[in-house]
């Protein structure tokens, strides 16, 4: 067995493509006159019962993290029914338990929205590009990525709206274990109960690379997973100290199904509080289940 550790350089073909997409998204707001900037702020706290994404047993660890972010966006009307938006989002994520998971991220984006028809019930289509630069306290996890975005939203009546978003993405990290690609779909049914309360039913599907961490023990040949079945996992792996105790991180190819619910009461004309529960069920060679509870507040200027 080997660690699979690799330091990627700017000559990597995948990284060159990611840089091109991220550069295009970054320069979007400055290449045309646009309305804005529009600014929104958010802060949240999330508790997960399986932050290690491990199979049930010795490897599961819970954790709480706090996140704060700002998004700045510009809008430009191209015609009566089409809007071009460009923006940059930045967030800081601090883990209360595992300092290696502390991160700073920057996400530039460029998106085209088109209303296919007239009136409030017309379908809205969107397509775009998104870049991502994330630095972790654990430097091996630091990565850059890019994704193609596609989606639509459809208002069913004054109170109900359905939205679906798709992504096709790829990301490069300093270590190959944290590098991969994926395809995903997310769906939401929004119910505006009244002028204050909104309820969302959420669902999602993701197929691609992810990371799972197994509790480790020292053996005659080095560190290895407690779960002997993990030796049969294909792909890159290596020993990590992110979770204080010894762990072995694996890059796994798996399908994740998610579902959840959120409640968002408005606390002002441009502010809202959101309480959300999500369950993530990942099926690969093993099964990894993670439940996450999030409380957040957001404000638009």
Q: Residue 23's pLDDT is what?
A: 46
Cα 206 to chain center, whole Å? 11
Least confident of 6-10, 56-60, 78-82, 176-180: 6-10
DSSP state of 15: H
Question: Reduced to 3 states, what is the DSSP secondary structure of residue 241?
Answer: coil
Residue 196, pLDDT above cutoff 90: yes
What mean pLDDT do residues 125-150 have? 97
Q: Residue 235's pLDDT is what?
A: 74
Question: Reduced to 3 states, what is the DSSP secondary structure of residue 68?
Answer: strand
Q: Which residue has the higher pLDDT, 63 or 19?
A: 63
Cis peptide before 289 (omega within 30 of 0): no
Residues 6+ apart with CB under 8 A from 160: 189, 190, 191, 192
Looking at every residue in the chain, the average pLDDT score rounds to 88
Q: Residue 122's pLDDT is what?
A: 95
For Cα atoms 159, 162, 168, give the angle at the middle one, nearest 5 degrees: 155
Q: Residue 205's pLDDT is what?
A: 98
Q: Residue 170's pLDDT is what?
A: 97
Residue 14, pLDDT above cutoff 70: no
Residue 25, pLDDT above cutoff 80: no
**Pairing state between β 222-225 and 237-240:** unpaired
Least confident of 107-111, 201-205, 223-227: 223-227
Q: Which residue has the higher pLDDT, 301 or 47?
A: 47
Q: Residue 236's pLDDT is what?
A: 80
Q: Residue 32's pLDDT is what?
A: 44
Least confident of 38-42, 44-48, 226-230: 226-230
Residue 27 φ then ψ, to 5°: -85, -5
DSSP state of 269: T
DSSP state of 21: H
Residue 144, Cβ density class (10 Å: 0-12 exposed, 13-18 middle, ≥19 buried): buried
Residue 75, pLDDT above cutoff 50: yes
Measure the CA–CA gap between 63 and 46, rounded to whole angstroms.
8
Q: Which residue has the higher pLDDT, 202 or 80?
A: 202
Residue 10, pLDDT above cutoff 80: no
pLDDT tier, 34 (very low <50, low <70, confident <90, very high otherwise): low
Spell out where the chain has E strands: 35-48, 63-79, 82-95, 103-116, 123-136, 143-155, 160-173, 180-192, 197-219, 222-225, 237-240, 247-268, 271-283, 287-300
Residue 247, pLDDT above cutoff 60: yes
- Other CB atoms within a 10 A radius of the CB of residue 35 amount to 12
Residue 201, Cβ density class (10 Å: 0-12 exposed, 13-18 middle, ≥19 buried): middle
Nearest residue to 53 via CA among 295, 290, 297, 293: 290
In a 13 Å sphere around the CA of 293, the CA atoms on its Cβ side amount to 5
Measure the CA–CA gap between 230 and 246, rounded to whole angstroms.
15
Domains in the chain, please, with CATH? Answer: 13-300 (2.40.160.40)
**Terminal-residue alpha carbon distance, the chain:** 53
């Amino acid at each position: 067995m080997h660690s699979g550790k690799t330091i990627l350089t700017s000559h990597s073909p995948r990284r060159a493509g990611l840089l091109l997409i991220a550069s295009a998204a970054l320069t979007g707001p400055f290449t045309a006159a646009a309305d804005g900037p529009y600014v929104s702020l958010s802060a949240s706290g999330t508790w997960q019962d399986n932050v290690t994404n491990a199979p049930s047993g010795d490897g599961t660890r819970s954790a709480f993290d706090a996140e704060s972010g700002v998004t700045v966006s510009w809008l430009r009307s191209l015609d009566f029914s089409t809007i071009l938006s460009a923006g940059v989002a930045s967030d800081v994520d601090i883990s209360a338990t595992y300092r290696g998971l502390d991160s700073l991220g920057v996400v530039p984006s460029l998106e085209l929205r088109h209303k296919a028809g007239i009136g409030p019930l017309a379908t809205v289509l969107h397509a775009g590009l998104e870049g991502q630069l994330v630095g972790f306290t654990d430097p091996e996890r630091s990565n850059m990525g890019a994704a193609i975005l596609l989606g639509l939203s459809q208002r069913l009546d004054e109170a109900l709206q359905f939205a679906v978003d798709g992504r096709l993405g790829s990301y490069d990290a300093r270590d190959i274990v944290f590098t991969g690609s994926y395809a995903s779909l997310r769906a939401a049914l929004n119910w505006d109960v009244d002028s204050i309360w909104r309820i969302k039913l959420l669902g999602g599907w993701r197929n691609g690379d992810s990371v799972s961490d197994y509790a480790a023990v020292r053996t005659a040949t080095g560190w290895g997973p407690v779960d002997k079945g993990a030796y049969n996992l294909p792909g890159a792996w290596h020993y990590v100290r992110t979770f204080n105790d010894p762990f072995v991180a694996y890059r796994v190819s798996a399908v994740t199904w998610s579902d959840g619910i959120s409640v968002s009461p408005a606390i002002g004309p441009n502010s809202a509080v959101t309480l959300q529960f999500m369950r993530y069920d990942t099926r690969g060679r093993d099964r990894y289940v993670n439940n996450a509870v999030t409380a957040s507040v957001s404000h638009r200027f």
